Chains A and B, each alone.
Chain A
Amino acid sequence: MTTTVATAIGVDVEERTETSEQSSTAVLTAPDIPWNLVVWNDPVNLMSYVSFVFQSYFGYPEAKANKLMLEVHRKGRSIVAHGAKEQVEQHAVAMHSYGLWATVEKASSAGTGKGGARG
């Protein structure tokens, strides 16, 4: 990811409500959660924009969005949500609409990356 001078990474940990996050994943029970949504680092997307997408699309609070964004930036990838396959695929298309590089994978094949959607 890329950052410009004005980018302040959230020292401000003001929590927002997590309504859309809850509505998107809370209905799932454990056996229904075999897929991960992975977002990959690239040298183009702005750190601020990636955090904005995590906040506005998933409804994550700023602190969580920044944590996931930094994980993408530093580790090259981050699991930003998980759920049933169809749901995770829908998230992937949304990420592609925003221009983020996202893939889906079976949860069991995930070698790295904690910090999933609902830890």
Chain B
Amino acid sequence: MAKAFKYGLKGITGHLEPAERELLRGLIDDVISMLEPSEAPDQDPLAALVGLDMDVRQPTDRALLRLLPNVMKDDDAGSLEFRQLTERSLRENKIGALRAAAMGLDRKELTLTQEEARLWSMALNDIRLVLAERLDIRDEADADHVHAMQDWSQAEDVESYLALVYNFTTWLQESLVQSMMASMDRR
């Protein structure tokens, strides 16, 4: 069984079983593959180098749109312009955090520095955002409904399995954030 993250003498520590590590690796790979920009063959290499992407469009996939939201509420043109300037580096930032978490999973001991913990919390958050879209969590009532699924023997279809995975990552992130707060208090 996984153990909640805690803050102690060795820093922020946690414990995950091999199967749980494998599960998280799979989730991380899924989110990375969503975020990896599709390289257009005729793309201007200089524009790519400085992070511009003039061909970028607002994502049609809801989960991807939640990861890469519009920066203005009622201005699609303004949001698109901003997206052209920033989306590529935002994707790279998120992929960086996810890769850092994946690397942490390869270590035997799960002991995280402050910075590693921060990257883990970002990665877990993005995983949860994607799972939540797949589970159709639109409001607090939906979230409560999913949260009620705690028993792995109830996992009989894809949705209930996803709900359990979502609750596991929620629990893991919550314990991680509490540990980070505890370590901040003692700086």
Query: Do chains A and B stick together as partners?
Result: yes
A residues in contact (CB < 8 Å) with B? 2, 4, 6-7, 14, 38, 43-46, 48-49, 52, 55-56, 89, 92-93, 96-99, 101-105
7 pairs, CB–CB < 8 Å, chain A vs chain B: A2-B170, A43-B137, A49-B125, A52-B177, A97-B93, A101-B66, A105-B72
Question: Across the interface, do A56 and B184 meet the contact criterion of CB distance under 8 Å?
Answer: yes
Closest to A41 in B: B140
Q: A48 and B170 in contact (CB under 8 A), knowing A43-B132, A105-B72?
A: no
Q: Which residues of B contact A46 (CB under 8 A)?
A: 125, 170, 173-174, 177
Question: Across the interface, do B140 and A43 meet the contact criterion of CB distance under 8 Å?
Answer: yes
Closest to A49 in B: B177
Q: Which residues of A contact B76 (CB under 8 A)?
A: none
Q: Which residues of A contact B122 (CB under 8 A)?
A: 97-99
Q: A7 and B82 in contact (CB under 8 A), knowing A2-B143, A103-B71?
A: no
Q: A49 and B137 in contact (CB under 8 A), knowing A103-B72, A103-B73?
A: no
Question: Across the interface, do A89 and B71 meet the contact criterion of CB distance under 8 Å?
Answer: yes
Number of interface residues of B (CB under 8 A): 41
Q: A6 and B72 in contact (CB under 8 A), knowing A43-B138, A97-B122?
A: no
Q: A49 and B121 in contact (CB under 8 A), knowing A43-B140, A44-B129, A44-B132?
A: yes
Query: Which of B125, B126, B143 interacts with A43 by CB under 8 Å?
Result: B143
Q: B71, B90, B97, B142 — which one has the most chain A CB atoms within 10 A of its CB?
A: B71
Q: Is the interface of A mostly helix, strand, loop or mixed?
A: mixed
Question: Across the interface, do B181 and A92 meet the contact criterion of CB distance under 8 Å?
Answer: no
Closest to A37 in B: B71
Closest beta carbon of chain B to A33's beta carbon, Å: 18
Q: Which residues of B contact A45 (CB under 8 A)?
A: 125, 129
Closest beta carbon of chain B to A112's beta carbon, Å: 13
Q: Which residues of A contact B72 (CB under 8 A)?
A: 103-105
Question: Across the interface, do B73 and A105 meet the contact criterion of CB distance under 8 Å?
Answer: yes
Please report which residues of chain B, range 115-132, place their CB below 8 angstroms from some CB of chain A when the two chains form the complex: 118, 121-122, 125-126, 128-129, 132
Q: Does B180 touch A at the CB level, under 8 Å?
A: yes
Q: Which residues of A contact B178 (CB under 8 A)?
A: 6-7, 48
In the bound complex, CA of A98 to CA of B97 (Å): 10
In the bound complex, CA of A101 to CA of B147 (Å): 21
Q: Which residues of B contact A7 (CB under 8 A)?
A: 174, 178
Q: A7, A97, A102, A103 — which one has the most chain B CB atoms within 10 A of its CB?
A: A97
In the bound complex, CA of A24 to CA of B72 (Å): 21
Q: Using A4-B174, A46-B125 as known contacts, list a sample of 16 further A-B pairs with CB atoms less than 8 Å apart, ordered by residue number in A.
A: A2-B140, A2-B147, A4-B170, A6-B174, A6-B175, A43-B138, A43-B143, A45-B125, A46-B177, A49-B121, A49-B173, A49-B174, A89-B71, A93-B71, A96-B68, A105-B73
